[in-house]
Each structure stands twice: as C-alpha cells, then as structure tokens.
Structure 1
Amino acid sequence: MFDPPVTTVGTIIDTPKAKIYRVALPNGKEIVGHVPKALIHLHESLREGVRVNLELTPYDFEKGRISGLAED
C-alpha cells in the first residue's frame, strides 16, 4: 500500500552543495532538501530565507523534496 507524503513548509537556511539545501521546519528541526528534475527551474529562485513547500516520506523525516515556493 502506498502512503501519501507528509507536506509542510520550510525556510532555506543554507546551500552546502549545489542543488542541496538545508531547510528549517516550523518545529525547529533542520532537514536536507532537494529539487526533483521536473522542477529544475526552481534552482534560480532558491536562496537563503526563501520559504518552500516540502514533501517528506512518512518513513524518513531527515530528507525532503522541495515541491515549490510557498505562498506567504
């Protein structure tokens, strides 16, 4: 059975490597975020302080997929 992803909003706090982002969640936890190939155009917009939508698997809350820019 497929479990749907957990969605949340986070703020980019750092870019330690190209195309890899450290993201702070609202609860204070920091995770590693990445952008899927289908949304490669987002890399130009992602920088420190930008709020993003995230999808996390229910089995691993250490990594997340950046699914777009968050609306304020």
Structure 2
Amino acid sequence: MRRAKRGQEAGAIEIEGTVVESLPNAMFRVELQNGHQVLAHISGKMRMHYIRILPDDRVVVELSPYDLTRGRIVYRYK
C-alpha cells in the first residue's frame, strides 16, 4: 500500500489488484491483494491514451479513504 504522490489525490490509498470482470460504462471489478473486491473505473489519463484493461490484468487502484468499495485504476502492469 502506498500513499499519494505528486499529481495524485491527497489522502488516496494505492493498492495492487487483479481485474476480475469488465462491467458496462468502463467499470471493472478488481480483486485486491488482501482479498477484498472493489468497483473501479479508468483514470482520465489512461482513457486519453487508450490503454485497454482486460480481465486478469494486474493494476494499481487508487482508493478514497471515504469509500473503500470504489476506486480508480491508475496503472496497468505490462
């Protein structure tokens, strides 16, 4: 788990996970390393650069401390 860096939302928590399924409206169900599942959408920069997210991809999810069941996918591992 990492804390926010420059250019990220203050107080956001970053954690790695694996995409379990793709949902409508560019939403994804991601299983985190600790076993929890969250609903995540793609960050604006990833959408702008047409980075595709598929099931079984390893990703970094940024979670808000206010709602730990939703997040934003900020990085896809190669």
Q: What range is the shorter-chain TM-score in?
A: 0.7 to 0.9
Q: CA RMSD in A?
A: 1.7
Separation in 2 of the partners of 1:22 and 1:12?
Answer: 6
Q: Deviations over 1:17-62 (max 9, x none)?
A: 14110000111111101012222112x2x11100001100111101
Q: Could you say which structure has the higher strand fraction?
A: 1
Equivalent residue number for residue 33 of structure 1: 40
State the TM-score, normalized to the length of structure 2: 0.77
Q: Could you say which structure has the higher helix fraction?
A: 1
- Deviating beyond 3 angstroms after TM superposition, the runs of 4 or more aligned structure 1 residues are none
SS of the equivalent of 2:69 reads strand
Separation in 2 of the partners of 1:66 and 1:5?
Answer: 12
**Whose relative contact order is higher, 1 or 2, with alpha carbons under 8 Å and at least 6 apart?**
1
The share of aligned pairs that are identical, in percent, is 26
State the TM-score, normalized to the length of structure 1: 0.83
What stretches of structure 2 of length at least 5 have no aligned partner?
A: 1-8
Separation in 2 of the partners of 1:20 and 1:9?
Answer: 17
